[in-house]
Structure 1
Amino acid sequence: MVAARPRRPPDPDAPRGAGPGRPKDLAKRDAILEAAKGLFVRLGFDAVSMDQIAAEAGVSKLTVYSHFGDKDALFAAAVESHCAQALPDSLLQAHPHMPIRERLTEIATAFYTMIASPEAIAGHRILCSPRLADSPLPQSFWDAGPRRVQERFAALLDTRVAAGDLDIPDTALAASQFFTLLKGEPHARMVFGCDCAEPRLAAPAHIAASVDMFLRAYAAR
């Protein structure tokens, strides 16, 4: 009779089936995202490999693929993670008892801080590169970041319109206008590398002027 072979312990980094009740390791997922964000900022999208991301995160390449599928999906997830950390859903709640100017200024300050960060500037430059401009990546970026923020902000505006604080016929359009105002010339200068320190130093005045212009257009009379 042939003796049974001893069973090998399972490899914790081996890809697993998507069976019910088998959650992925959230700590490893977070480590992969942080590693990817750092590498994309330092090296750019094309220069980063999944092997480098795995090594930086301290996991196997199979684990990276198990969580994210491919590098494009990982980049989109990194964008979503960055936006969610800087502008969490809790920040985009209506808070109807807070004065509308104060509420808009709070959101505007968080948004401007996010888009002026080195990570956001590097990500914007990556997406403007010729090779990526014709790829699905810009659309993935839009869906993971700006679209999420604008949709939640439009819902906040709906609540404030219903409360009588604002008079806005098209809140989706107004949400787009609000964030476009905040980006304005300062964001373009930071992306182009033109006197980057000045837009950051002038941020409070720029934010206040943008909120003021928005309220001049949409505050309830």
Structure 2
Amino acid sequence: MSGNMGGAGTKAHPCDVREGGHGAGLDPEKRSQILAGARQVFFDRGFDAASMGDIARAAGVSKGTLYVYFENKEDLFADLVSVECEETAERMFVLDLGEEDVETALVELGYSFIHAILRPSSIALLRTVIAISAKFPEIGRRFFEAGPCEGVSRLSAFLAAKVEKGVLEIEDVEQAASQFLTLCKDGVTIPVLVGSPTALDPAAVEKSVRGAVRVFLRAYAPRTGS
């Protein structure tokens, strides 16, 4: 039978513990201008080597203006993490809830997901977050919520629609979404993250995505018979 979507008796998914969003700043355009400068400095120099003065110059604003929008460098980088993850999710997780062919939809999502997370800027961001999250746990939380949790949420909505139609049989769609994304990146992200050549091996990507879809559909296809 079709399962629930996080009903009673199921364990809370880590992504369920989210807090409210952060302020957007006084002027959205000025804030975007500052974030563009911060992106350039952080990605070129890394978190530790970046300074608020460097960021102000790159953004074309005064340090005084910078501090109106952001309390310090950590606050600025945390906001940049959220924006980068949100923009990636907007591009990557475009799922048509009415799509009838689940296999095709998952294959397309799998390819999009891997190519997005293996972009040099995505790898640079992830490495930086990992390096500083012990010291600045708020940054790690921002990344987790705006990145992995947002992806799980968007895919969960698609899976829930398929459960309602009886196309899939899933008790916990958030868990299933997380499992699918983990299967997709298994074996292809860690080598890049630890310093292997960043060029994607198309054969490895295809093997990972196709394998993830095959395992996922075998696990969650409706049971037949008694």
After TM superposition, the score normalised by the length of structure 2 is: 0.76
Q: Which deviates more, 83-92 or 155-164? A: 83-92
Paired residue for 1:215, among 195, 217, 221?
217
Which amino acid is the alignment partner of residue 148 of structure 2? P
Residue correspondence of structure 1 range 53-202 to structure 2 within 5 A: 53-88=55-90, 91-129=93-131, 131-136=132-137, 137-199=139-201, 202=204
* Offset, 1:43: 1.4
Asked if the contact 1:165–1:220 (Cα under 8 Å) also holds between the matched residues in 2, the reply is: yes
User: Which structure has the higher relative contact order (CA within 8 Å, separation 6+)?
Assistant: 2
Unmatched 5+ stretches in structure 2 = 1-24
% identical aligned pairs: 35
What CA deviation, in whole Å up to 9, does each residue of 1:152-210 have, x standing for no partner?
Answer: 22222212211212111111111111111122121000011124335466323322222
Which amino acid is the alignment partner of residue 54 of structure 1? A
- Higher gyration radius (CA): 1
Structure 2 Cα separation of the partners of residues 46 and 26 of structure 1: 27
Which amino acid is the alignment partner of residue 180 of structure 2? F
After TM superposition, the score normalised by the length of structure 1 is: 0.78
Structure 2 Cα separation of the partners of residues 45 and 200 of structure 1: 32
The total of aligned residue pairs comes to: 198
CA spacing shift, 1:209–1:108, aligned 2, 3 Å:
same
* Offset, 1:120: 1.3
Unmatched 5+ stretches in structure 1 = 1-22
Asked if the contact 1:127–1:133 (Cα under 8 Å) also holds between the matched residues in 2, the reply is: no
Structure 1 Cα separation of the partners of residues 146 and 50 of structure 2: 20
Structure 2 Cα separation of the partners of residues 165 and 73 of structure 1: 44
Asked if the contact 2:99–2:105 (Cα under 8 Å) also holds between the matched residues in 1, the reply is: no
